[in-house]
Structure 1
């Protein structure tokens, strides 16, 4: 593939809050591009991208699905991501490898909690975005309100490229402000034909003002446009597009379009905007990787002639075999190639390459820089691993994985189920870094840990349907964290029995509490003979293992800096053995933490709740009983919007309670916010007071 061809690739994702219309938009994109010949609808369970039975039954997206289509001269590699908070890892790993994104907002609800979360994820990886305000045909649709929301909640500078023709149920099309023409979409062929015409006279004044605001935004990124704007000259379409593209690629502005995907209106202009304003792989800044041995950085560009560097961003288990999704950043890969997994220092042999269309595969002979493909044959590769040319090893930045917050105890029903349970759960752990499974040594139960009730419910359902494993489940439980109140210094000596004589190891360490959200930080001294860098790396691994195991309750330690002050060795004595040093590190952390006044932190959720006004008092009273803190009230028509923070421990089964209190008219969405100190009764239950 030539550089010209790579310049016409767009690797994009569809991101938004649940039920904003991501999958519906994707279905229209596939239909209008000619990739499919029939539109699938989410509410009928017929959407191409929602191929899992659980997705079809619930009408939601659970796993990020990749597909590919052509729009004119451009090839779009498209990933449809979930909107539910429980499946946020699917968004995280997709955003990590995407060059651009289409963010969808509901014209009625505006910026919702999960919209805000996925927007921040895209901010973290500096992913340029174009936006679609969807559902313009709904009662209460107000695109101006959504633009205000974007500025207020996201800090985003939104640039409106269109005005609506008609409002709410009368929405009939859009006016393109750059081309100054009216666009409507034929009902005869499901919106496939775009009818272009002059701007209706009644919209002329509004178009003039809106185009002036658009030109003012574009002028910040192009001197010629600025000169024309200041002198009052009309700026041409190409000059505006050039300036808007520059601002969009820098994540300084976000073009906004309007439409109603369900009514087949406004999707083709979104595709045009993707090709015009979002980056090709060649537009991205140079990537930086680290050499596995030295940690030294090296930059490289998207060039098929360079050595291969690819990131594994998703792994799927199909009947025990792995299908690994790769984003190729440089070089090229062919079937039969042997690659180095630089993250795990192991070799992988690629058997087949596929371009994916949801769960269907199209085999290809080769993938080059800029491509997103799936491969078979990888035995050890997991999410976030780097695959590269064995002669030029380089490590890329991995994927940030959020910590799971809900656990569930399960037991196999029969002997055959027991034999297959742990093996099957391992497949799920390949696929999903936010899912954990371990056996409780005291009860013999298997403990599943995930991002929420729905996440674990889907796992249980898949165990039964896909693998025929039947289990009994307990009640979901909150996953707490341990933290320390005070700083502790400790000297630890540990002795192992060697082949001929005891092998002692000694280290001195200090545990320092960090502010909330600080995670775990380890600091090691510089290696000094006979203590090598490899020995210190082994000690670091044990320090982290000890933190994951906690000191008293079995919950992981967090918000803690573990600093190894020294690894003393007598003059002339040999270096301590790795096994002894690991033992000293692990035991040292646990015993030191017990001296640091440990206490429990509980997960706190950010809640957005809608309720009719007449039930507001009852709803607020219920939140108060759940230790909720109301942070804001907003009125939206006949509904009250409540913003609050509530401990996760109080939220199990809340949907049933809310429906009862509001006669079925209330709804809420929830996102993880952070950890706070658990109440005294919880601390006492775990023996920490």
Structure 2
């Protein structure tokens, strides 16, 4: 396969709320680009991108899946991401390496909670986006309402590139505002043929107004277009595309397309929008890296002749071996290369390189800057690691990882399962940085911690199917946090003879509570900050370890500032062991005197219920200590936004179905930690 030119590459992802149509759009893209010859359907469990049995059975995307295809003379590296909040890490690590994204919204439900989450993630990485308002064939489809929600709830600037040609059951196609054409999609060949015709008489006035709004948006990014717009002169489609592309690359507007993916309508114009408005690797700013030897910042342009720099953004346990997904930002990579892992200061030899088509592989010999590929042979590489050459080490920023909030105890069913459980859990942790495993010191149980009930349910299912390990599980438990409610200063001196040697250490610590959701801060007084680097590292690592162990209930401490005011070193007497012991004992005693308390996770809840049942549902929320933040009517249904403690939400779907006769739905997303109620404190012996 001949490598495409960098300006002809588009690295893009598809992001949205669950059930907005991401995988359905992905399947149509693969079909219309000729990558597949049969349309797969989510509801039939036959899609290419949702290849895991757990995905096909549930009809949802669980893991981000990559593929590659061609549209016209462009090469598309496409990643289909999950929409469920439990698998948000898949969106996070995909957006970290992508150059652009398609954000999909349902024309019926509009902007939903996970739509907001993925939009914020894309903002964090400054990923340019185009949008698709999907499901225009559904009853209740409302383009104007969706656009308004995008502006109000996302702070977006959607620029409508098309008008709908009919709506709901009458949806026939779209009106292209740039070229003033009516586009319809032939049903007999599953929408593969796009027919263009004149704009219908009844839509010409609306199309003229729509194009004027489009020209006005483009004028903000091209002074010549602005002059023509003010003077009333016509502007060619090519000039408008160039201006809109500049606005898209700057993340200041989002060209917005219309369609009904399940009915095979609107996908080809969306693909044209991908190549017209989303960036190539050459359009992205140089990636920022550090020289780990000097901490000197560097900027690396997308150059195959530059120094090798790649980010491992995903690791899979594929038939027991690691399959590592890489994004190359600079340089070239070939099978057999020796790579330096600057994150872990180790080396690995790359065995083989692949282009991925969901879970199928296409072997390649070389990858260049701008490519997204998979590799085997990298035994010690994990998500977020930087790969480079030893002679020119480089280090990239890692990933922002959300904190898991639900845990469950598991135990092996049989002796043979017990032997396989540990290695299987280790492989699952390779894949998912939000999945944690620990052993309860008191009970000896293995505790799995994840982002939610569904996340842990999938993990347990995979233990059985993928690794042949059968386990018994307990009830899901909330993962709490501890914090302090008042400041305290404590001096600790440690002196002891161990194995015939005198160990000594001394510290003066001050612990201060901080505002909610500020995390953990460790400060060193000026005299301590002047200590050698190895002593400063020992101090910080010891204190972070102490915070992870908690004070009373064993949960990590947050919203806390720890200041090391003194740490005198006596030559010949102060030892690593002595200082570490003084730090850990001093911290534990100080924390106990600083009035520790427990924090519980609070979730952002959005309910969609028929108006007839709204009062009943609000009553159940009050019983669950829920705080309603707002309510909006959308025709015959009400959308309720509330904050509810996670501990109250286990099994809520059954309650909601009962209260609304099966017609209510909800989405749940972690919001913050807040003070646990007295009954919870009493349960933990506070």
What interval of TM-score do these two structures reach, taking the shorter chain for normalisation?
A: over 0.9
- Aligned with 1:632 (options 611, 624, 630): 630
Alpha-carbon deviation of 1:496?
6.2
Q: Is the 8 A contact 1:13 1:79 kept in 2?
A: yes
Q: Distance in 1 between matches of 2:135 and 2:427?
A: 38
Mapped pair 1:235 → 2:235: yes
Q: Is the 8 A contact 1:32 1:268 kept in 2?
A: yes
Q: Distance in 2 between matches of 1:95 and 1:666?
A: 32
Query: Partner of 1:661 in structure 2?
Result: 659
Q: Is the 8 A contact 2:528 2:565 kept in 1?
A: no
Moved more, 419-428 or 557-566: 557-566
Cα offsets for 1:92-151 (capped at 9, x unmatched): 111111110000000000000001100000001110000000000000000110000001
Tell me: CA distance 1:247–1:49, structure 2 relative to 1, closer, same or farther (3 Å). Answer: same
Query: 1:465-544 alignment to 2 at 5 Å?
Result: 465-495=465-495, 497=497, 500-525=500-525, 531-544=531-544
Q: CA RMSD in A?
A: 1.6
SS of corresponding position for 2:38: coil
SS of corresponding position for 1:76: strand
Mapped pair 1:210 → 2:210: yes
Alpha-carbon deviation of 1:526?
6.2
SS of corresponding position for 1:347: strand
Mapped pair 1:189 → 2:189: yes
SS of corresponding position for 1:658: helix
- Aligned with 2:579 (options 577, 581, 596): 581
Q: Distance in 2 between matches of 1:604 and 1:11?
A: 36
SS of corresponding position for 1:66: strand
Mapped pair 1:342 → 2:367: no
Moved more, 388-397 or 522-531: 522-531
Alpha-carbon deviation of 1:511?
2.1
Q: Distance in 2 between matches of 1:589 and 1:86?
A: 34
Alpha-carbon deviation of 1:198?
1.4
Query: Partner of 1:295 in structure 2?
Result: 295
Cα offsets for 1:522-552 (capped at 9, x unmatched): 2235687994102211321222111111111
Query: Partner of 1:610 in structure 2?
Result: 608
Query: Partner of 2:437 in structure 1?
Result: 437
SS of corresponding position for 2:615: helix
Alpha-carbon deviation of 1:583?
2.9
SS of corresponding position for 2:189: coil
Counting matched residue pairs gives: 686
Query: 1:453-464 alignment to 2 at 5 Å?
Result: 453-464=453-464
Cα offsets for 1:63-117 (capped at 9, x unmatched): 0001000111111101000000100001111111111000000000000000110
Query: Partner of 1:674 in structure 2?
Result: 672
Alpha-carbon deviation of 1:301?
1.0
Tell me: CA distance 1:162–1:361, structure 2 relative to 1, closer, same or farther (3 Å). Answer: same
Alpha-carbon deviation of 1:319?
3.1
List runs of 5+ in structure 2 lacking aligned partners.
none
Tell me: CA distance 1:528–1:120, structure 2 relative to 1, closer, same or farther (3 Å). Answer: closer
Query: Partner of 2:40 in structure 1?
Result: 40
Q: Is the 8 A contact 1:531 1:575 kept in 2?
A: no
Tell me: CA distance 1:451–1:333, structure 2 relative to 1, closer, same or farther (3 Å). Answer: same
SS of corresponding position for 2:396: coil
Alpha-carbon deviation of 1:164?
0.5
SS of corresponding position for 2:122: helix
Alpha-carbon deviation of 1:380?
1.4
Query: Partner of 1:447 in structure 2?
Result: 447
Tell me: CA distance 1:497–1:358, structure 2 relative to 1, closer, same or farther (3 Å). Answer: farther
Q: Is the 8 A contact 1:323 1:375 kept in 2?
A: yes
Query: Partner of 1:552 in structure 2?
Result: 552
Q: Is the 8 A contact 1:496 1:579 kept in 2?
A: no
Query: Partner of 1:652 in structure 2?
Result: 650
Q: Distance in 1 between matches of 2:135 and 2:73?
A: 29
Query: Partner of 1:379 in structure 2?
Result: 379
Q: Distance in 2 between matches of 1:73 and 1:614?
A: 54
Query: Partner of 2:409 in structure 1?
Result: 409
Alpha-carbon deviation of 1:356?
0.5
Tell me: CA distance 1:483–1:530, structure 2 relative to 1, closer, same or farther (3 Å). Answer: closer
Q: Is the 8 A contact 1:551 1:591 kept in 2?
A: no
Moved more, 494-503 or 439-448: 494-503
Tell me: CA distance 1:529–1:625, structure 2 relative to 1, closer, same or farther (3 Å). Answer: closer
SS of corresponding position for 1:234: coil
Tell me: CA distance 1:296–1:495, structure 2 relative to 1, closer, same or farther (3 Å). Answer: farther
Moved more, 251-260 or 491-500: 491-500
Tell me: CA distance 1:661–1:529, structure 2 relative to 1, closer, same or farther (3 Å). Answer: closer
Q: Distance in 2 between matches of 1:13 and 1:211?
A: 28
Moved more, 172-181 or 543-552: 543-552
Moved more, 388-397 or 512-521: 512-521
Q: Distance in 1 between matches of 2:42 and 2:529?
A: 64
Alpha-carbon deviation of 1:641?
1.1
SS of corresponding position for 1:188: helix
**TM-score, normalised via structure 2 length:** 0.98
Q: Distance in 1 between matches of 2:353 and 2:529?
A: 48
Cα offsets for 1:3-39 (capped at 9, x unmatched): 9811111110000000000000000000000011111
Query: Partner of 1:81 in structure 2?
Result: 81
Alpha-carbon deviation of 1:320?
2.6
Tell me: CA distance 1:575–1:72, structure 2 relative to 1, closer, same or farther (3 Å). Answer: farther
Mapped pair 1:268 → 2:277: no
Tell me: CA distance 1:464–1:496, structure 2 relative to 1, closer, same or farther (3 Å). Answer: farther
SS of corresponding position for 2:96: helix
- Aligned with 1:599 (options 582, 597, 600): 597
Q: Distance in 2 between matches of 1:492 and 1:224?
A: 71
Q: Is the 8 A contact 2:183 2:196 kept in 1?
A: yes
Moved more, 512-521 or 56-65: 512-521
Cα offsets for 1:310-337 (capped at 9, x unmatched): 1111111123311111111101111111
Alpha-carbon deviation of 1:498?
5.7
Q: Distance in 1 between matches of 2:632 and 2:476?
A: 32
Tell me: CA distance 1:353–1:677, structure 2 relative to 1, closer, same or farther (3 Å). Answer: same
SS of corresponding position for 2:293: coil
Q: Is the 8 A contact 1:13 1:81 kept in 2?
A: yes
Query: 1:111-190 alignment to 2 at 5 Å?
Result: 111-190=111-190
Q: Is the 8 A contact 1:527 1:536 kept in 2?
A: no
Q: Distance in 2 between matches of 1:202 and 1:481?
A: 61
Q: Is the 8 A contact 1:530 1:575 kept in 2?
A: no
Q: Distance in 1 between matches of 2:501 and 2:132?
A: 71
Query: Partner of 1:308 in structure 2?
Result: 308
Cα offsets for 1:262-313 (capped at 9, x unmatched): 0000001111111111111111112111222332211111111111111111
**TM-score, normalised via structure 1 length:** 0.97
Q: Is the 8 A contact 1:173 1:266 kept in 2?
A: yes
Query: Partner of 1:18 in structure 2?
Result: 18
